[in-house]
A and B are shown apart, each in its own frame.
Chain A
């Protein structure tokens, strides 16, 4: 069974204080690893998809990396508007359809 574990559960940062979020996963074969951002009362907003170990993707202050067992989301010099819950999900190669298995998320609060 596919499993995704995210750590830490919550993160409080000062504005400008860089940090990393971890996503550990177990999947029979990885079709894709996804990062989403979710604001309170809203649906998840797509950030990145990573496909193979060694891959990296960047978007503004966010950078996602992937190894064979985990992914990291690095937040560089965060701003208060980066406060959100960040969700990691995997899709297995053998999965029928578009099923995503999500981790529990990391709640990030960036204080000015």
Chain B
């Protein structure tokens, strides 16, 4: 059974650019959540998508956005990159939303902003 796939694994961008990260959930999983992980702030919730609708959003500026496609694959976009956006971006997939089991994380995309 394939796990959660995140692409690319590594990315280097320049300040002011924008970036798009991709997450393919486990087959059959319809919920995709995104998290940002930094040494200073730890893991912080960005947003969750279920059935192509945003279910919940964390305390991040509007530069961070996402979407989900009909096949449950999700993308997140960060516009006007800042140095502080350098982080490991993780996605987690789950069968459903609003429950407390079955979250599986991908290996993440390491974004470096220079």
Residues on A lying within 8 angstroms of B by beta carbon are 31-32, 34, 36, 41-46, 49, 51, 87, 89, 91, 95-105
Q: Which residues of B contact A (CB under 8 A)?
A: 4, 31, 33, 35, 42-45, 48, 50, 55-56, 58, 90, 92, 94, 97-101, 103-108, 110
A43's nearest neighbour on chain B, judged by CB, is B105
Nearest CB in chain A: distance from B73 CB, A = 17
Partner among B4, B48, B58, B110 whose Cβ is within 8 Å of the Cβ of A98: B48
Q: How far is the CA of A103 from the CA of B50 in the complex (A)?
A: 25
Rounded to whole angstroms, the CA-CA distance of A104 and B38 in the bound complex is 10
- Is A96 a contact of B107 with CB atoms below 8 Å? no
Tell me the smallest distance from the CB of A33 to a CB of chain B, in Å: 9
Q: Pick the most buried of A45, A100, A101: most chain B CB atoms within 10 A of its CB.
A: A100
